[in-house]
């Protein structure tokens, strides 16, 4: 594999750099836009209102992802609107009372809970992954990653990213005798606590180093969860 570029995490002093392996992420078609906002229904029609805007778009699902069925299931848990992170094409709409049509080609997440439009980290992240039992989250930027777990200080690390077949990739890092691996696959994933729907599945593996002598390394801790691309990953 070819080394593409170094990545450095600026908030901590690290002697070792990190590198991105494989090809650059494929960019989305130029005529598609990614938008976040409120997804709701009115008079049986789905509407989308982008964050910090008053415009409302009629929504058409071109993604073949059962978008409306998934959103309807979340709405059954309580009143809307939902937060949606979507990519699609803007165009004219024949529906009265709308400012156009948003034809969705891809969804990143649909959720009821969370910071939604107020997320201060979204634009700088390339990936966000999280899971439960126990809770964990990994926030990834082009400068490094941060692993957060209850009862432990956030762990900031450099990483290597390797592109794999079928749109899969993994991130790896080593520090303090431990190896961290985050495996990501393009697979629909539902958070089993909040019901949030995300477009990627994730698996976090943490391998412990040997305790000393001839003892073998500790067994991997494998934790599964979901993930989505942040605003800094144009794909």
> What does the pLDDT look like over 27-86, one tens digit per residue?
555 689 999 999 998 888 899 999 999 999 999 988 777 888 889 888 887 777 899 999
Tell me: do 124 and 111 sit in the same domain: no
The pTM assigned to this predicted structure is: 0.81
* Residues 155 and 132 occupy one common structural domain: yes
- Given 57, 92, 118, the domain boundary residue is 118
Residue 150 pLDDT: 93
Can you tell me the distance from the alpha carbon of 215 to that of 209, in angstroms, rounded to the nearest whole number? Answer: 9
Mean of pLDDT over the chain: 82
Count up the domains in the chain and report the number: 2
| Domain span at 92 | 33-118
According to the model, what pLDDT value does residue 126 have? 97
Residue 234 belongs to some domain of the structure: no
**Cβ-contact 108, 87 below 8 angstroms:** yes
- Express the helix, strand and coil content of the chain in percent, nearest 5 each: 10, 45, 45
Out of 118, 147, 174, a domain closes at 118
What per-residue confidence (pLDDT) applies to 21?
Answer: 36
Residues 112 and 125 reside in one and the same domain: no
For residues 22 and 124, membership in a common domain is answered with yes
pLDDT value, residue 224? 96
The answer to whether residue 235 is domain-embedded is no
Place of tokens 């700088």: 124
Helices of type H across the chain: 67-75
In angstroms, the CA 198 to CA 189 distance is: 5
189 domain residue, yes or no: yes
Q: Which residue stretches of the chain have pLDDT < 70? A: 1-30, 94, 209-220
Residues 157 and 91 in one domain: no
Residue from 225, 69, 52, 71 nearest 147 by CA:
225
* CB of 30 closer than 8 Å to CB of 55: no
How far is residue 38's CA from residue 40's CA, in Å, rounded to a whole number?
A: 6
Decide which of 118, 139, 169 is a domain's last residue.
118
Same domain, 20 and 125: yes
pLDDT at 4: 33
Q: Which CATH number does the domain housing residue 111 bear? A: 2.40.50
In a domain, 47, yes or no: yes
Say yes or no: 143 and 223 in one domain. yes
């Amino acid at each position: 594999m070819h080394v593409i570029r170094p990545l450095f995490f600026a908030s901590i002093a690290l002697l070792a750099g990190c590198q991105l392996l494989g090809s650059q992420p494929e960019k989305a078609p130029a005529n598609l836009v990614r938008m976040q906002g409120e997804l709701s229904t009115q008079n049986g029609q789905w509407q989308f209102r982008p964050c910090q805007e008053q415009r409302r778009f009629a929504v058409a699902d071109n993604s073949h992802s059962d978008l409306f069925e998934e959103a309807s299931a979340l709405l059954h848990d309580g009143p809307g609107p939902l937060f949606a992170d979507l990519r699609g094409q803007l165009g004219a709409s024949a529906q009265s009372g709308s400012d156009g049509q948003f034809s969705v080609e891809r969804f990143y997440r649909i959720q009821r809970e969370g910071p939604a439009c107020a997320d201060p980290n979204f634009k700088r992240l390339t990936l966000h992954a999280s899971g439960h039992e126990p809770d964990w989250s990994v926030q990834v930027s082009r400068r490094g990653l941060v692993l957060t777990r209850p009862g432990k200080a956030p762990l900031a690390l450099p990483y290597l990213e390797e592109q794999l077949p079928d749109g899969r990739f993994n991130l790896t890092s080593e520090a303090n005798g431990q190896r961290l691996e985050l495996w990501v696959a393009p697979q629909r994933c539902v958070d089993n606590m909040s019901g949030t729907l995300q477009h990627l599945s994730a698996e976090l593996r943490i391998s412990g180093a040997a305790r000393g002598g001839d003892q073998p390394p500790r067994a991997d801790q494998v934790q599964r969860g979901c993930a989505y691309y942040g605003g800094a990953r144009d794909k």
